[in-house]
Amino acid sequence: MVERYALEPLKSLWTLRAQYERWLEVELAVVEAYEEVGVAPKGTAQKIKQHAQIDVDDILDIEKVVDHDVIAFIKSVTKNIGDEARYFHYGLTSSDIVDTANSLALIRATDTILESMTKLSNALYSKALQYKDLPTIGRTHGVHAEPTSFGLKFLSWYAELLRDIDRLKYVREEIAVGKLSGAVGNYANIEPEIEEIALKKLGLKPTPVATQVVSRDYIAQLLSLFAIIAGLIERIAVEIRHLQKTETLEAMEPFREGQRGSSAMPHKKNPILCERLTGMSRLMRSYAQVAFENMALWHERDISHSSAERYILPDSTMTIYYMIEKARFLIENLNIFEENVKKNIEITKGLVYSQRILLALVEAGMSREEAYTLVQKYALECWESGESFKEKLHADKKILGTLGEEKLAELFKPDYYLRNIEKIYEKFE
C-alpha cells in the first residue's frame, strides 16, 4: 500500500486488524452453524464473541515463533475463551478462513468501487449534456478529420463506463463465494451443511468444487475487469493530456490556488493528474497478469499465490478506487476553453470539409473518382501552401459552376456535423 494513493474506506478495509476481524467473522459463522445442527451447545458463538480479543501485536509475536499467520491468530484469539475454544476452527483448514475472508473483503471493496463508478458516470453524463452542441474538430491518427460534438467525447466515456458498471455488478455476484470444506476440499472433517449455513450468514455461496482453496479464476476475472476500467480512465486521461497541449489548449486539468507546476519554470501548468492515472493504469494491468499466474497451483494447492495476493488484492482495489475518485474530480473540475475549441476547427483553413465537398460534387452529378481527384488536388496544395481551401475551390470554375457560390459557402459550416447528434443522445435517455 502506498499511503499517497490510499483512500478511505478501502485503506481501513485492508489493515491487519480488519483482516483478523474478517477471519473471526468467518470462524464465528461456522460456530453458529455448528450450534444450529446441534454439534455445539447453544450460546457457544456468543460466548466466543464476548471473550475473543484481537491483539495484533500478540498475533505477530506468536507468528514469529510458529511462522504461520492463521495458527498465530487462533492461538491469540482463543487465549481467554475457555472451554468453548473446542469449537473454534473445528474441522477447518487455514484456507477455509483466508479464502472466505478474502471474498468478504473483495465484495465489500467492490461495493465501494461500484458506488464511486456511479458518481463518475453522473459527472460524465452531465458534461456530455453541457457540451452536446459545442462543435469541435474530430481527430484521427492525431490529425484533423471532421467536426463533431465536444460532448460526444464525454458521452463515449459514459457509455463505456455503464458497460463496466454492468460487468462489475455481474462479477461481484460471481466472486461472492467461499469454501469451508476442509484440507483438500472433500468435506472429510466438516459437513457440507455447515458450509452452506455459515456462508449464508456471511452473504456468500459455496464454490461448487474446491481443492484446499477456492479456484483463482474468480480473482483473475475481477482483476481483469479492474484493468479494463483502468483502461477507460487512461483513455480519458490521455485525451485530456492531448487537449491540454499548449498548441491545442481546449481543456485543462484543474489547477489549485498555490499549486506549482515546475520547480524550475514558474509558468508551467502540467497535466500531472492525468499522467498519474495513465501510470496507474499500467499497474492495474500488471495486477491482472499476476492474477492469471496465480491460477495454476500444484495439485490441491501450494502457496505460490499467497504472497502475490497479499500485494495485488489490497493494491488493486485501492488503486482502482483511487483512479475512479480522481477521475471524477478531474471531470467535475475540468476547464474547457470553448473559444479555442471552436477556433481549432479552422486551423487547416477549411481542409476538414473535404468530404462534404466531395459528396456535394457527386450529388451534383460528378463521378466519385473525378470528384475525389479534384478535391484532393486542391487539398494537398493547401497542405503545402497554407492557403485557404475554400478560396482555392472558389477559384476553380468547374467546382464553382457545379455547386454555385451559395452552396459552396454552406458546405464550410461546422454545425452541419452535429445534425444527428441528438439521435445518439436519445440512446441514453
Q: Which residues are catalytic?
A: 141, 262
d(CA 165, CA 172): 10
What's the one-letter identity of residue 411?
Answer: L
Say which DSSP state 4 is in.
G
The beta-carbon contacts of 378-387 under 8 Å, at least 24 apart in sequence, are 379/351, 379/354, 382/348, 382/349, 382/350, 382/351, 383/348, 383/351, 386/349, 387/349
CB 239 within 8 A of CB 67: no
Residue 274 backbone dihedrals phi, psi, to 5 degrees: -60, -40
Cβ contacts of 354 within 8 Å, gap of 6 or more: 375, 376, 379, 389
How many helices and strands (H and E) does the chain possess?
18, 6
In the numeric block, the cell 495484533 is attached to 56
Burial class (CB in 10 A: 0-12, 13-18, 19+), 373: exposed
Residue 428: CB atoms within 10 A of its CB come to 12
How many Å apart are CA 371 and CA 366, to the nearest integer? 6
Helix (H, G, I), strand (E, B) or coil at 147: strand
CA distance 416 to 429: 23
CA distance 352 to 354: 6
Q: Which residues contact 105 (CB under 8 A, 6 or more apart)?
A: 13, 14, 18, 19, 22, 313
Residue 230 cell numbers, joined: 483502468
